[in-house]
């Protein structure tokens, strides 16, 4: 070959030897070049065939790649686009056109494509495209568009600048992705994270975030706003009576009414359990905030009809104003403090936070801490004040009174830590400890004061609404061999005003059936009602000491005591006077027909170990545990 490589041999023979001359050699050279040309032609055909085969394979792979890319575009809902900056011409891929919902025969222009974006997002799209052209840096943006077929979609547009070349002018190329499903999923997850699953209102986490934003806006000069905290009154009774499914339906209805009744621009959330919280609009005063609270209470208290049953529920509101440098957490604390006072004093109304509540709250927290520590360190004990027969000064019983001993040695009465009893858990703990003390002391009291007929034990409100209280008390007495008729349970009239009156009635009736007597303490102090004496199993009433101590010098107090004694006697209910301090008071009570009492005239409360030194009147020979009749009052039935 021309390259000098040997690829074969061409042999020409003549049967006449030695006859090749120069002409023959020239012909031989010509023949050899012809053969080489033929070989070159064959090689080129072979190379062309190989190239054709390779091209066919590459074309096939390209077509397959295009098909796969097209399928990937459809699957991922991604389309491509290319904008020629100078001319403004834009090319869209098939999938990009599908995202736009465009099926026209003419090319989709840039303006037509941009006009599909909703007005509130169009400015962001224009700004992002301008940024790519001006800064030559990639950019992306998410926005909503209304496709040509009317469907609203959430899309992500990405653009990147390509500089001009000799063959092509400057361009912006990018992709358009339909992210509607992912966006809706994200919204659903966000809603689930921020909204209560039962009521659909904002949950506590989302409310805290919103409140922090409101506080920040207020500090930037947007004006005053208020936080209103609502608690449903009697909701526990609904749950206990009708079950949690009905309770959930009540919560749903209450939340729906709140959502409808709150002013525009207000925020409403479920704070937890049966509590709801509202942030008022900016720029209102305290009178307007109180009016909002009253309107929402009115909306809630309408009867709820569920499965043909009408259920009534009311609400109490605590209200707090957002003052200077007040955090969201502090606002909630203040509203809760106002709500707490309202629940205890006047349920069903709006209560505004004021600075005086702080002192009461500090006293409450201090009392709770003292009692909690005393319980933990066993510094809570019982002392017993005698209840005597007034004419003979003979002891007939005792009232067990709580005493708290501080670390410094000071003795505190129950009155001095009274706010601690408002805590339901702590009050039950106190009651259990007092029951333990009575069970431990009773045998010794009976041994040193053999005429003792009963010992009174004070119940708390938390005890009476606890459905297993009667069983626990009777079990404790039985385990200590104390007959139930040797114990009187003292309650106050405020305990009979709780929402769950049926539970209180059930507890008292069970104790009464066991032989235990029930005494109504502080009788005549503000909440007296004949219906209490009629509807609850009351055996004794204890006239409050404030009336007894004034009756000798105050005619009105004397008339009240006389009326209380007469009313009780007419109902065959025994009367015990409290707070007797002078012989004059004792004699006046006897003349009015009251034959039993207690007070400092006879003895203060003493520890069980000191009762053996108590000398009052003549000791009775009868054993205290034997029920007996009194000609004037049936003290033990």
- The pLDDT value recorded for residue 498 is 65
Helices 328-345, 204-217: crossing angle, 10 deg rounding: 110
- How far is CA 490 from its chain centroid? 36
Q: Which two tokens stand for residue 595?
A: 């034959």
Compute φ and ψ for 127, nearest 5 degrees. Answer: -65, -40
pLDDT tens, 166-177? 888 999 999 898
Rounded-to-integer distance, Cα 171 and Cα 83, Å: 6
- Answer whether 313's CB lies under 8 Å from 232's CB: yes
Rounded-to-integer distance, Cα 598 and Cα 61, Å: 108
The pairing of strands 394-405 and 454-458 is parallel
Nearest Cα residue to 268 out of 217, 337, 319, 207: 207
Nearest Cα residue to 220 out of 324, 319, 332: 324
- The pLDDT value recorded for residue 60 is 64
Q: Which two tokens stand for residue 544?
A: 């409050």
- The pLDDT value recorded for residue 629 is 39
Q: Which two tokens stand for residue 135?
A: 């800064």
Compute φ and ψ for 544, nearest 5 degrees. Answer: -65, 140
pLDDT tens, 205-229? 899 999 988 888 876 667 789 999 9
- The pLDDT value recorded for residue 3 is 62
Residue 207 makes CB contacts below 8 A (sequence gap 6+) with 267, 269, 271, 277
Residue ranges and CATH numbers for the domains of the chain are: 77-185 (3.30.450.20), 195-354 (3.30.70.270), 363-613 (3.20.20.450)
Low-confidence stretches of the chain (pLDDT beneath 50): 618-637
The DSSP code sequence of 431-497 is: HHHHHHHHHHHHHHHHHH-TT--EEEEE--HHHHT-TTHHHHHHHHHHHTT--GGGEEEEEEGGGGG
Rounded-to-integer distance, Cα 337 and Cα 423, Å: 14
Rounded-to-integer distance, Cα 246 and Cα 421, Å: 31
Rounded-to-integer distance, Cα 416 and Cα 412, Å: 6
Q: Answer yes or no: pTM beyond 0.75.
A: no
- The pLDDT value recorded for residue 44 is 79
| Adjacent-strand bridge partners of 83 | 90, 172
């Amino acid at each position: 070959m021309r390259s000098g490589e040997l690829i074969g041999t061409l042999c020409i023979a003549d049967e006449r030897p030695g006859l090749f001359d120069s002409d023959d050699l020239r012909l031989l050279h010509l023949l050899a070049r012809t053969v080489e040309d033929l070989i070159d032609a064959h090689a080129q055909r072979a190379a062309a065939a190989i190239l054709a085969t390779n091209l066919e394979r590459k074309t096939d792979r390209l077509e397959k790649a295009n098909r796969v890319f097209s399928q990937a575009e459809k699957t991922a809902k991604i389309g491509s686009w290319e904008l020629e900056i100078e001319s403004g011409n834009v090319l869209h891929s098939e999938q990009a056109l599908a995202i736009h919902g465009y099926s026209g025969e003419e090319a989709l222009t840039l303006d037509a494509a941009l006009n599909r974006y909703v007005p509130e997002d169009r400015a962001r799209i224009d700004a992002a495209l301008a940024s790519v052209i001006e800064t030559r840096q990639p950019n992306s943006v998410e926005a909503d568009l209304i496709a040509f077929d009317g469907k609203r979609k959430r899309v992500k547009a990405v653009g990147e600048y390509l500089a001009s070349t000799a063959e092509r002018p400057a361009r912006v190329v990018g992709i358009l992705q339909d992210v509607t499903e992912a966006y809706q999923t994200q919204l659903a997850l966000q809603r689930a994270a921020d909204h209560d699953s039962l009521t659909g209102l904002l949950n506590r986490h989302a409310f805290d975030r919103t409140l922090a934003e409101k506080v920040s806006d207020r500090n930037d000069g947007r004006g005053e706003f208020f936080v209103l905290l609502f608690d449903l009154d009697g909701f526990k009774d609904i749950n206990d009576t009708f079950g949690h499914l009905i309770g959930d339906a009540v919560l749903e209805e209450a939340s729906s009414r709140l959502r409808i009744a709150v002013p525009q621009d207000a925020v409403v959330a479920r704070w937890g359990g049966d509590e709801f919280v509202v942030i008022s609009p900016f720029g209102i005063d305290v009178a307007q905030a109180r009016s909002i609270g009253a309107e929402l209470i009115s909306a809630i208290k309408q009867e709820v009809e569920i499965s043909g049953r009408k259920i009534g529920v009311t609400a109490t509101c605590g209200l707090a104003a957002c003052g200077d440098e007040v955090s969201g957490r502090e606002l909630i604390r203040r509203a809760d403090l106002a709500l707490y006072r309202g629940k205890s004093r006047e349920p069903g109304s709006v209560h505004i936070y004021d600075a005086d509540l702080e002192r009461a709250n500090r006293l409450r927290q201090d009392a709770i801490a003292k009692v909690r520590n005393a319980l933990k360190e066993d510094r809570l004990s019982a002392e017993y004040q005698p209840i005597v027969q007034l004419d003979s000064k003979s002891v007939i019983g005792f009232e067990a009174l709580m005493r708290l001993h501080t670390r410094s040695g000071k003795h505190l009465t129950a009155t001095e830590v009274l706010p601690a009893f408002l805590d339901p858990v702590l009050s039950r703990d106190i009651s259990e400890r007092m029951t333990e003390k009575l069970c431990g002391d009773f045998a010794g009291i009976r041994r040193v004061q053999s005429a003792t007929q009963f010992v009174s034990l004070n119940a708390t409100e938390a005890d009476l609404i606890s459905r297993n209280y009667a069983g626990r008390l009777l079990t404790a007495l039985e385990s200590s061999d104390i007959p139930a008729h040797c114990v009187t349970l003292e309650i106050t009239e405020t305990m009979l005003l709780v929402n769950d009156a049926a539970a209180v009635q059930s507890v008292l009736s069970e104790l009464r059936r066991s032989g235990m007597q029930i005494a109504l303490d502080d009788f005549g102090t503000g909440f007296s009602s004949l219906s209490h004496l009629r509807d609850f199993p009351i055996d004794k009433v204890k006239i409050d000491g404030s009336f007894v101590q004034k009756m000798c010098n105050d005619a009105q107090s004397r008339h009240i005591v006389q009326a209380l004694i007469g009313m009780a006697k007419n109902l065959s209910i025994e009367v015990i006077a409290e707070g007797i301090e002078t012989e004059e008071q004792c004699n006046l009570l006897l003349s009015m027909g009251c034959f039993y009492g207690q007070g400092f005239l006879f003895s203060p409360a003493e520890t069980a170990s000191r009762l053996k030194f108590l000398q009052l009147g003549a000791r009775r020979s009868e054993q205290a545990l034997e029920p007996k009749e009194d000609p004037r009052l049936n003290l033990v039935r």
